[in-house]
Chain A
Amino acid sequence: MKRIGLNLRIMARAFEIELRQNMTDGFVLFGILIQPLIVAFMALWMLKGKGPDYAIFVVIGSGMTGLWTTLLFNGGNSITGERWTGTLEPLVASPASLRVVIYGKVLANVTQSLLSMIGSYFLISFAMGYPLTLTYPGLFFLSLVISVFSLVSFGLILASFFILIPDFARMVNTLEFPVYILCGFLFPIALLPGWTTPLSYLLSPYWAALALHGAAQGTLEPLQIVGTWGIMAFFSLVYILASGRLYRVILRKARRDATLDIVGN
């Protein structure tokens, strides 16, 4: 019990440090505060006259794309950042679990991005007099919370590759659009070839998008929404359990191959 408390404290401190660092980085601030405003404004301007149902689909879809991008770039790149500052070695050599530290960092990035995007959409839609109605507001917000934890758990797995491969930041570009498409962020996966469907089912962001779209537009029954939460919880549990073994193996390999102090390109 004491161990859990100590780990929660480390996670909270990593969360705080990541937020504070982001707040002093002009590039990150632009990505968090200005870019979502521009995207929200453009999306809602283009949707003028298409009806509120379609608008909310695009609002959530583009929000999810932003979340995924944040997870991919800011979450993973926070490891690259640790390499650049030379703090990855002190982190690894400390008694704290690196998984716990990374969970806190990824959670900070996802939370920050999510809050900023929600704020942006409400602000712009209010300014443009555009209604954003949610069919099941309570289920929607619970779906949002569960989606965040599911995405952060997924991010934990993703970040491990940044530890193993110093140049992984260059490879993540190729993961951005396939996940947008496979997870149905911007259009339903029914439009994709049938063989891609099992791949979508294996990705927790797909279930997050399904739950959020379903709760917002009413395309899923409340019980079905709860079902997606169960699947997300299952995946999160699998990711977290798998990450224990994965981090042990990856850190051992990094210490054997001497890649902890290598700064990627």
Chain B
Amino acid sequence: MDAITVNHLRRLYKSTDGIIKRTTKEVVAVEDVSFEIRQGELFGLLGPNGAGKTTSVKMLTTLLIPSGGSATILGLDVVKDANKVRPRIGFIFGGERGLYWRLSGLDNLRYFASLYYVDEATSKKRIPELLEIVGLKGREREKVEGYSRGMRQRLHIARALLHDPEVLFLDEPTMGLDPVGARELRTTVKNLQSANKTILLTTHYMFEADALCQRIAVINKGKIVALDTPEKLKENVQDLSVVEVELYGIPQEVIERIKALDFVVEVSIENRDQRQVMQVHTPKGPEAIPVLVEHLNGLRIGRIITREPTLEDAYVRLVGGAEQ
């Protein structure tokens, strides 16, 4: 049985403006999302900011009512059976909110354990185990306000696991973490999957999805634009090479001119401090370099390299090469 099924899920946000003459505006956050996640699978939902990842997760965690479509968790409808779904899922949202900062990590866990009807005896046994798993043992009596961002994120994970849920939703769990903290957290997530939890992970870090997920759905503008294993997604761009050109300022009209070249499939720009790295997806490989340089005439050019495409390139091709 699938742990999660999502059928044509849709969500609109309405906002009103004006005092006397009120106007209502509708924004489509999730247009049409469908997928299934098998029990014990680590599934990635990958997309740029504003693609509809968090909205989708909020509908699945019963915090938002869908405007259309349906979804089930372990066979239970997320709207009609919300009260039955809640004890069986755990979730964390990226960032530092969602904890009581003036209380200790232990107080936070004890409180949330009671909210999930975890009895006192189980709670006393489970909390130290979780503190050990997330690496907060010895720091649990300190106030959360004194924790680092990574420690807070790990406390979130412990909170989500208090009632030993079958399904976990991790919404950008490594957002804002330093590289070491992010790596530790990824190890924790990997271990959770080994414990046969079904996990839906949202991220916009390609390497994270590549390293962790068995299957990935790429979401853009509220729609699933691709759904496959990381390897299969990469195959979509195997016929292409990526030429990376380091630049120190590039006008929009030059980008448009390069996009219009017949051998160019996709162009994306990545800002790195004072520089921009233009990534050109092309089947021509290094042969494209002279033509590209010709079009960049007059601009300050740094390093130029040609490389094999990655999952990130597949993703860029799927969601379009907007500036990252």
B-binding residues in A (CB < 8 A): 6, 9-10, 13-14, 17, 20-21, 24-25, 85-87, 89-96, 101, 252, 255-258, 260-261
Contacts and interface: CB of A to CB of B under 8 A. Distances in A.
Contact of B99 (A85, A91, A101, A258): A85
Contacts of A13: 110-111, 114-115
Interface residues of B, number: 31
A215 to B, nearest CB: 37
Contacts of B14: 257
Given A95-B116, A96-B116, A87 B107 contact: no
Contacts of B64: 255-256, 258
Contacts, number: 78
B205 interface: no
Contact of B98 (A9, A10, A89): A89
A231 B110 CA distance: 38
A255 B61 CA distance: 11
A85 B97 contact: yes
A85 B103 contact: no
Contacts of A260: 63
B85 to A, nearest CB: 9
A78 B229 CA distance: 45
B91 A93 contact: yes
Given A17-B107, A21-B100, 8 more contacts: A10-B114, A13-B111, A85-B98, A85-B99, A86-B95, A87-B100, A94-B115, A94-B116
B117 A90 contact: no
9 contacts: A9-B114, A20-B102, A21-B100, A24-B143, A86-B93, A93-B61, A93-B63, A94-B86, A258-B64
Contacts of A9: 114
B188 interface: no
B65 A252 contact: yes
A29 B95 CA distance: 29
Nearest to A94: B115
B111 A17 contact: yes
A94 B40 CA distance: 22
Interface string B78-101: 000001001100010101011111
Contacts of B101: 85
Interface string B112-139: 1011110000000000000000000000
Contacts of A257: 14
Interface string B24-68: 000000000000000000000000000000000010011111000
A95 B87 contact: yes
Interface of B: 13-14, 58, 61-65, 83, 86-87, 91, 93, 95, 97-103, 107, 110-112, 114-117, 143, 159
B117 A95 contact: yes
Nearest 4 CB-CB pairings of A with B: A86-B97, A94-B115, A96-B115, A13-B114
A87 B99 contact: yes
B218 to A, nearest CB: 24
A17 to B, nearest CB: 5
B99 A6 contact: no
A261 B61 CA distance: 14
B98 to A, nearest CB: 4
A10 B117 CA distance: 8
Contacts of A14: 111
A89 B114 contact: no
A34 B308 CA distance: 69
Given A13-B111, A94-B116, A256 B65 contact: yes
B115 A255 contact: no
Given A9-B114, A255-B62, A93 B86 contact: yes
A62 B236 CA distance: 74
B115 A10 contact: yes
Contacts of A92: 63
A24 B102 contact: yes
B115 A91 contact: yes
Contact of A101 (B93, B107, B110, B115): B115
Max chain B CB contacts within 10 Å: which of A25, A89, A92? A89
A6 B117 contact: yes
A256 B65 CA distance: 5
A230 B29 CA distance: 52
Contacts of A10: 114-115
Nearest to B29: A258
Contacts of B95: 86
A256 B62 CA distance: 10
B112 A90 contact: yes
A89 B86 CA distance: 12
Nearest to A25: B102
